[in-house]
Amino acid sequence: MKETDLIIMDLRQFLMCLSLCTAFALSKPTEKKDRVHHEPQLSDKVHNDAQSFDYDHDAFLGAEEAKTFDQLTPEESKERLGKIVSKIDGDKDGFVTVDELKAWIKFAQKRWIYEDVERQWKGHDLNEDGLVSWEEYKNATYGYVLDDPDPDDGFNYKQMMVRDERRFKMADKDGDLIATKEEFTAFLHPEEYDYMKDIVVQETMEDIDKNADGFIDLEEYIGDMYSHDGNADEPEWVKTEREQFVEFRDKNRDGKMDKEETKDWILPSDYDHAEAEARHLVYESDQNKDGKLTKEEIVDKYDLFVGSQATDFGEALVRHDEF
C-alpha cells in the first residue's frame, strides 16, 4: 500500500471518528445520549467559606491550577496572584470589576478549550501568519479525501465539508473567510459563543430531523437518544423522556419542536455560576465598598482567592512555571 493511501485512510478514520463523536454519535440501546449544553459547576467542593475557601480556589483558578498553589508559601502565592490580577484587569485602569472577574473565572474553567484550540491551530495555520483561512482549514482537513469521489467507507465527506464551511462563515465575523484565533475558537466550540448558538441549533436539528421537515417530532427526539435494537420494552428513562417531550419540550403542543423550542432544550438558560462567584469575591474583598477591587485588596485576601501552604518546605517545595 502506498504512503499516500495510508495517509488518506488515517485521515478518513480521523474524520469519521470526529463526526461520530459529535453530531452523528449513536447511543447504546440502554444508554442515554445528552445533547444539552449545560454550564459546568465551578467546583465539586462545598461552597462554605466558614469551613474552607476550596470552592473559591477552584472557581478562580480551575481545579488543577488550584492544586499548584497549595504547594506554595504565602509569599509566593501573593506574588503569583499579583501577576494574575494584572491579566484580569483587561482595560488596565488599576481596578478589577465584577465583569472582568467573571470573564476570568469563565476562562479559568474552560482552559481546556483554549488548549484544544492551540493544538489544532498549529496544524491548520499552514503559512504561519497567525490566521487560519478557510482554504487552509479545508486543505489540512479534507485535502486528500476529496480527491477520491467514491471513498471505500461510504462516508459523505463533501457533505461534512459543506457543513464545516457554513459554520466557519458564521464564526468569521468580518466575512473575509480568514479566522483569527478567537473566530477559530468559535468555529471549533460554537456552543461557547452567543453569536454561534443558531448554528448549534441548526446542526442539531439537521442531525435529528430524519424526515427533513424542519421540525423534531417525538419519535425523532427519542430515536436520537435511544435505539430499540430489537428490544420491545423501553427503559424507564426513555418513558420519562417521552413525558418530558410532551409536557416541557413541545411548548405549543403541536407534536413537534421548532427552532426556538429546540434551542430552549439544548441551550438552556442556566444559573450563571461564574457571575455569582465573581460577585461573592468582590463582596468579600472590597474593603472600601466601591464595587471594584484593587490589586492590594485582592492580595490582602489572597487566602480567599488562591490559598497557599503555610509550611516552609525549603528545597523540597514544589515550584511551577509562571501561571
Q: pLDDT tens digits, residue range 151-203?
A: 565 567 888 999 999 999 999 999 999 999 999 999 999 988 999 999 999 99
Q: Beta-strand (E) ranges in 62-104?
A: none
Burial state string for 282-299 with b = 16 or more CB within 10 A and e = fewer than 16: beebbeeeeebbbbebbb
Contact 3, 144 (CB under 8 A): no
Contacts of 225 (CB under 8 A, 6+ apart): 27, 32, 33, 238, 241
Q: pLDDT tens digits, residue range 61-90?
A: 887 788 888 888 889 989 999 999 999 999
| Rounded Cα gap, residues 37 and 110, in angstroms | 14
| Rounded Cα gap, residues 180 and 129, in angstroms | 10
Q: What is the pTM of this model?
A: 0.64
Q: Where are the domains of the chain?
A: 69-215+258-301
Res 244: pLDDT: 94
Contact 131, 174 (CB under 8 A): no
Res 2: pLDDT: 45
Res 285: pLDDT: 95
Q: Once rounded to an integer, what is the mean pLDDT over residues 199-226?
A: 95
DSSP 207: H
